[in-house]
A = this chain, B = another copy of it.
Amino acid sequence: MAGNTGAREGGDRLGAVLRPVRAGNGFEEALEQILQVVRLGLVPDGERLPAERELAERLGVSRVTLREVLRVLHDQGLVESRRGRYGGTFVLRRSDGAGEDELRRRTAEVDIEDVLRFREVLEVGAAGLCAAHGLSGEGVVRLRRALDHTRDAPLADYRRRDTLLHLTLAGLCGSPSLAAQYAAVRAGVNDLLDCIPLLVRNLEHSQRQHTALVEAVLDRDADAAREIAREHCAGTAALLRGFLA
C-alpha cells in the first residue's frame, strides 16, 4: 500500500533524528566529558579539576556516579585526588604510553572523514561569523591573548594552546551551539593528532596561518578568514589522512 511504502522510505530518513537518546549511561557520558576536558587541555597537567560537588552539578550527574568516573581515571593513572582543604582532583602528566591502547581503541571507532569534515565546517564557520559580525573589545583581547600564547609555547604545550586558540575563536562566534559542537569534535581531532608525530615544520606553517587568521578576523575580512581557516583545516586533514589511511 502506498502509505506503507511511504512510511518505509520515511523510515530511512528518520535515521538522522531517531538516534538513541543517550549515547550511554550517565557514567559513560560523564567519563567522556571529563576526558574531553583533559584531552582539550582545558585543565593542564598538574592543575585541579573543579571540586566533585561542582563537577557533578555541572555534568548533571550525582556525586556518586561522578566519583565512579574519577575512580576509573585514577586507576588509569590520569588523575590523583588529595583530601583536605585546597585538596581536589589533579590531572597528572600523562607518562607517555599510559592509556595508549585506550587511545587506539578510541581512534579505531571514530569515522575519520566525519570528524575532519565536520571540523572544517565548524572551524570555517566560526572564523567567518567572527569576521562578519566583528568582535567585542573583550573578544579582541581574548583572541589576541590566545594567539600570543601560542607563539611562545614550549613544544610540549603547543598543541594545548593551539586548541585553546581555536576554542576561543569558536566561543566568540556568537553561537553557543557551534562552540559546544566544536569542543566535542576538536577533542576527537586531538585524539587523532595524538597518534601522529608533531613536526616542527607543520607547526611553523600552522603558526603563520593562525596569525593570518586572527588578522583577517580583526580586519573583518570574512572571505579571507574563511579561506585561511579552510586551508588550515585542509593541512591538518591531509596530515592525518596521510598517517592514518
A residues with a Cβ closer than 8 A to B are 3, 6-7, 10-11, 13-14, 16-22, 26, 29-30, 33, 36-37, 40, 42-44, 46-48, 50, 55, 58-61, 111, 113-115, 117-118, 120-122, 124-126, 128-129, 164, 167, 170-171, 173-185, 187
Contact = CB atoms under 8 A, between A and B. Distances in A.
A21 B34 CA distance: 11
Contacts of A121: 121-122, 124-126, 128-129, 175, 178
B177 A118 contact: yes
A179 B16 contact: yes
Contact of A21 (B26, B46, B125, B129): B26
B40 A17 contact: yes
B33 A17 contact: yes
Contacts of A47: 3, 6-7, 10
A204 to B, nearest CB: 26
Contact of A48 (B3, B58, B124, B175): B3
* Dominant secondary structure of chain A at its interface with chain B: helix
Contacts of A129: 117, 120-121
B58 A117 contact: no
A177 B189 CA distance: 14
Contacts of A185: 177
A59 to B, nearest CB: 5
Given A16-B176, A17-B183, A20-B59, 14 more contacts: A6-B47, A14-B58, A16-B167, A16-B170, A16-B171, A17-B37, A18-B55, A20-B58, A114-B178, A118-B177, A120-B125, A121-B121, A121-B175, A177-B181
26 contacts: A7-B43, A10-B43, A10-B44, A13-B167, A16-B167, A16-B183, A18-B33, A18-B58, A18-B59, A19-B58, A20-B58, A20-B60, A21-B22, A21-B61, A111-B176, A114-B177, A117-B129, A117-B175, A117-B178, A120-B125, A121-B122, A121-B178, A124-B125, A125-B125, A177-B181, A181-B181
